[in-house]
Amino acid sequence: MKKIIILLVFLILLQSVYSVTLKKGESTNVSSKEIKIIGIQEDKIVVSVDGVKNIISINEEKEINNLKINLISIFYLDDEDSTATIEIGLTYSCGDGKCNPEEKDCCSDCGCVSGKCISDKCVIPECEKDIGCDDGNNLTEDSCSNYLCEHNKAKCKKDLDCNDGNIDTDDKCSNGKCKNILNYICKTNEDCDDNNPCTINSCVNKDCKKEEIKDCKEVKKINTDNKDISQEVKKGFFGRLFSWFTNWFD
């Protein structure tokens, strides 16, 4: 048991240590803090953490502005091209049972003002059980996971599963997929209007019905000298001649 505890502590410490090699003037960011190398000498460096400066010698570790800085090595060439390798560690660890002011997002150590702590995030519970996530949709599988609702798409099994609540669609389940097809051609008589004065158009049982008017002649209006004149739709010469003889003997 002691070996397991020691291993866990080692892993926690390992995850909270970062190693980086920098030149003079270069910087890196750890835990929202800027670590910058101000100067490099043969056996020491000047380093700042968010503007707080200190001098660290090789194999020396110092705590600066809530970060641990350990100078591992220096590759010295000159003042500009030399590099320093440092290890940066946190002075705290999320999950160690201690609430550090830097641990703003670690609710496992600092708790939550409201809600529940889930994966180090404060979450306002949406549910306790799966039944609390029912969205009334037959095509979703509703579940409660970590106090949050999940709605995953599900395959339909029968036509009723595809009911979209729209009286203008026929709802069908085909191979596990829903099809909601419009079930009407028209809703009003106006929807069936074909702009033909010689037909009566009506909407019956969501479908258009057309009835031709007997002895109806289609007429149109043309404008001549700014006067509206109704005339019979233009016919060929022989057609007009035949109509003239027919009307003569009527």
Asked whether 189 and 203 are in contact (CB, 8 A), the reply is: yes
CA-based angle 109:111:115, to the nearest 5? 150
- In the numeric block, the tokens 């000159």 are attached to 78
Over the stretch 30-61, which tens digit does the pLDDT of each residue have?
Answer: 877 899 999 999 999 999 999 999 999 999 99
Closest CA to 188 of 169, 167, 213, 208: 208
Distances (CA, A) of 223 to 143, 146, 163, 219: 72, 78, 55, 13
What is the distance in angstroms between the CA of the first residue and the CA of the last residue of the chain?
119
How large is the average pLDDT for residues 224-233? 47
**pTM over the 0.85 mark:** no
| pLDDT tens track for 111-151 | 888 888 887 888 888 898 999 999 888 788 899 988 889 99
Q: Phi and psi at residue 97, in whole multiples of 5°?
A: 85, 0
Domains contained in the chain, CATH given: 2-90 (2.60.98.40), 184-221 (no CATH)
